A and B are shown apart, each in its own frame.
Chain A
Amino acid sequence: MADNPQTPGNPAAGRPLSPHLTIYRWPATMMTSITHRITGVGLAVGILILAWWLIAISTGPDGWNAFHAVMNTPPGLLVLFGIAWALGYHLLSGLRHLAWDLGYGFDKTVAERNSILVFGLSFLIAAGIFVLVWTGHAGYLQ
């Protein structure tokens, strides 16, 4: 960007400015930070599906069937997969936040490694949940 005021020697700046977010290459730690926020907002909205699920159960077979008719469609399953991934991600990433609050995990290489670990494990959790359902290992409370 030619008119970026952060470019060194830009006369528009007229004073030294500390570099802001846009100037950096995105490291894994920045990805995990913003993803924690996005999954958090997503899960907050996702609680509405939990509310619908509970209402559906409370209203009996009609409500239950209506809920499953919507959720068993490709967009419905995509939303459920998204929520499963977001829950797994926010849970793992949240554990990292709690560890940081206790003073652990700030080392640069450790933080970088844990970021990649959290991304990988969250997809494994989401995929694991769907594999359990599709291979008939879910529904064990019947």
Chain B
Amino acid sequence: MSSLQTPLHRVKGLGASHSGTGHFWRERITAAALVPLSLWFLYAVLGLAGTNVVTALRFLAMPWNTLLMAAFVVTSLYHAALGLQVVIDDYVHTAGSKIMLFLLVRFCVIAAGSTCLFALLRIAAF
């Protein structure tokens, strides 16, 4: 045996990429989930266009609508973070800038997500 690694350690290490198909798979699952969620989002936004703030508050404060909007926001942001990571991976080739951009994307996604959820919480309490 030329390697001191156990077979289990070799499998867990997943080679030079340090990750397996997890990223790819999560991108597809969030994509599939976003198909119905986006259709609901279009229905909601079109239905509220040109109305007033009370209508919007009443609609989004309904439990199912709050839940669906939260699911749309969280799933979109997760999918966006996965997608932006691929873009950065493809075009940024220095380790330092790459890590900084990954962190920036993740900070922005968490900031945007928590802001949306906070707003939804206030709307649901309306």
Contacts and interface: CB of A to CB of B under 8 A. Distances in A.
A54 B116 contact: yes
Interface of A: 37, 40-41, 43-44, 47-48, 50-51, 54-58, 60-61, 63-64, 87, 91, 94-95, 97-98, 101, 129, 132-133, 136, 138-142
B46 interface: yes
Interface in B47-103: 47-53, 55-57, 59-60, 69, 73, 76-77, 80, 83-84, 87
Interface residues of B, number: 37
Interface of B: 28, 31-32, 34-35, 38, 42, 44, 46-53, 55-57, 59-60, 69, 73, 76-77, 80, 83-84, 87, 112, 115-116, 118-120, 122-123
Contacts, number: 95
Contact of A95 (B35, B112, B115): B35
Given A55-B119, A57-B57, A57-B123, A47 B80 contact: yes
A64 B52 contact: yes
B51 A139 contact: yes
A47 B38 CA distance: 13
Contact of B44 (A55, A87, A101, A141): A141
Nearest to B112: A51
Interface of chain A: mostly helix, strand, loop or mixed: helix
Nearest to A136: B50
A138 B50 contact: yes
Contact of A54 (B47, B76, B87, B120): B120
Contacts of A57: 53, 56-57, 60, 119, 123
